[in-house]
Amino acid sequence: MSHFAYRNGVLCAENLPLTEIAQRFGTPTYVYSKAALLENYAAYANACKKHGRDDKTALVCYSVKSNSNLAVLNLLARQGSGFDIVSGGELLRVLAAGGDPRKVIFSGVGKSRDEMRLALSHDILCFNVESVAELHRLNEVAGELGKRAPISLRVNPNVDPKTHPYISTGLKENKFGVAFEEALDIYRTAAKLAHIHVTGIDCHIGSQLLDDAPLLEALDKLIELVDTLTDEGIAIHHLDIGGGIGIVYDQDKPVAVGDYLGRLFTRIDGWRAARHGNAPITVLFEPGRSIVGNAGILLTEVQYLKHGETKNFAIVDAAMNDLMRPAMYEAWHGVQAVRQREGSPNTYDVVGPVCESGDWLARSRSLNIEQGDLLAILSAGAYGMTMSSNYNTRGRAAEVIVDGSEMHLVRPRELPEQLFAQEKLLA
């Protein structure tokens, strides 16, 4: 069920009218529902439990880049979640939020020496290595620290995830991972390196996948490789299938997380029984969007209505710097008026104040609104705040978590003075 619904004509987050949040903290403000967040996490955790997995044999590593607010990370850490990070900064966030570094996996094509040192010093669970050059650098850095770095190779199964090209990552032409055909050789190299410990295999083929067929196809390719590696005496202890399950933005019909995990575990169990004498293999997931995407909205106020010759514009106080997805991917976000009005709607493009034609949040939406009304931009919990910028010297939005009828400010609005406080004039 959605935790953003109308009560007495006013859109609420859980039991709290969004109007109260705007009154207290202003706009634009990201609003997250704690219940939605925990429910989405539980869909993964419960499916793991249902298929006989415990903490040792399945781990959800929440993708920090989708929403990295400390309060969000802390709520998930308290549920036992692990974390998938893509930078040293994200590791520091996880630690600050009380996350367990031993449940952290480190993805990304460009890990620096400093980032490797930081992650090694905290004994993270695994480095998802994305190239031969990275493997050698990691071996060197681990050697300097007198450590062995646990690694999995991010393999590119060359499966088409059938999603937007910008969020498709598992095809041959993508910059991510190593080619399936080269993986065996790279594993052989890795197995010989003194400061590398091969522990797993991983892939992440894309984001906003509505169907799990490409994920199961990728799983089959990983299984094939694990068997070859086992035959060569290279033991693989965990299999990381990545994230990527989609959410409802418009008319999307994403696969239910429980159904997908059911099919995945059934396949894995059948394989382990047939080929590995039922020896378990730990399964890792890296979900981001499916946990936090529909747990958040962006609350914004209509500044002006502008009626043009061919178009009507609702100019709001949120912009592309707050929510980049429409400008970047032409992403579609639902828009709802917080207060329902009588009368007939108009068609509007919902745009921000930033000086770019790309600064729009939604196009051709039927809305019954007046100046000063509040709008909720839906499904904004993932890749919203984390992709925000200070373009046009706009302070980042505030972030609020709603729990029942309580609101908690988990990040105050940035003040413009803070944005240039570190800048210096020439003498």
Ligand X SMILES: *Cc1c(COP(=O)(O)O)cnc(C)c1O
Give the x/- contact pattern for ligand X in 388-427, rule: CB under 6 A.
----------------------------------------
Q: Which residues pair with 101 in a beta bridge?
A: none
Whether 355 sits among the annotated catalytic residues: the reply is: yes
**Residue 66 in contact with ligand X, rule: CB under 6 A:** yes
Quote the least distance from Cβ 329 to ligand X, whole Å: 12
Count of residues interacting with ligand X (CB under 6 A): 17
Angle between helices 213-231 and 180-192 (to 10 degrees): 40
Q: Peptide bond preceding 157: is omega within 30 degrees of 0, i.e. cis?
A: no
Give the separation between CA 412 and CA 399, rounded to whole angstroms: 7
Footprint (CB under 6 A) of ligand X, residues 70-89? 84, 86
| Contacting residues for 223 by C-beta, under 8 A, at least 6 apart | 239, 267, 268, 271
- Tell which one of 53, 221, 289, 333 touches ligand X (CB under 6 A): 289
| Contacting residues for 294 by C-beta, under 8 A, at least 6 apart | 2, 36, 40, 247, 248, 378, 379, 381
Quote the least distance from Cβ 169 to ligand X, whole Å: 7
383 is in an annotated binding site: yes
**Residue 67 in contact with ligand X, rule: CB under 6 A:** no
**Residue 290 in contact with ligand X, rule: CB under 6 A:** yes
Lookup: tokens for 323: 């929510």
Per DSSP, 321 falls in state T
| Terminal Cα distance for the chain, rounded | 59
Give the separation between CA 330 and CA 239, rounded to whole angstroms: 33
Please tell me the chain's helix, strand, coil percentages from 3-state DSSP, rounded to the nearest 5: 35, 25, 40
325 is in an annotated binding site: yes
Quote the least distance from Cβ 86 to ligand X, whole Å: 6
Give the x/- contact pattern for ligand X in 333-372, rule: CB under 6 A.
----------------------------------------
Which lies closer to ligand X via its Cβ, residue 292 or residue 316?
292
Quote the least distance from Cβ 43 to ligand X, whole Å: 13
- Piece of 115-123, 258-266, 281-289, 416-424 that binds ligand X (CB under 6 A): 281-289
329 is in an annotated binding site: yes
**Residue 244 in contact with ligand X, rule: CB under 6 A:** yes
Quote the least distance from Cβ 61 to ligand X, whole Å: 8
Quote the least distance from Cβ 305 to ligand X, whole Å: 35
- The DSSP line for 76-107 is HHHTT-EEEESSHHHHHHHHHTT--GGGEEE-
Continuous segment of H or E residues that includes residue 300: strand 296-307
**Residue 243 in contact with ligand X, rule: CB under 6 A:** yes
Give the separation between CA 155 and CA 361, rounded to whole angstroms: 35
**Residue 287 in contact with ligand X, rule: CB under 6 A:** yes
In what order do the strands lie in the sheet containing 4-7? 4-7, 10-13, 16-17
**Residue 107 in contact with ligand X, rule: CB under 6 A:** yes
- Piece of 2-10, 71-79, 237-245, 388-396 that binds ligand X (CB under 6 A): 237-245
Q: Which one from 12, 48, 61, 355 is the annotated catalytic residue?
A: 355
Give me the numbers of helices (H) and strands (E) for the chain, helices first please: 12, 21
Q: Are 70 and 99 in contact (CB under 8 A)?
A: no
Give the separation between CA 104 and CA 53, rounded to whole angstroms: 19
154 is in an annotated binding site: no
Catalytic residues: 355
Residues that bind ligand X (CB under 6 A): 63, 65-66, 84, 86, 107, 204, 207, 242-244, 286-290, 382
Query: Binding-site residues for substrate, please?
Result: 289, 325, 329, 356, 383
Query: Binding-site residues for pyridoxal 5'-phosphate, please?
Result: 244, 286-289, 383
Query: Binding-site residues, please?
Result: 244, 286-289, 325, 329, 356, 383
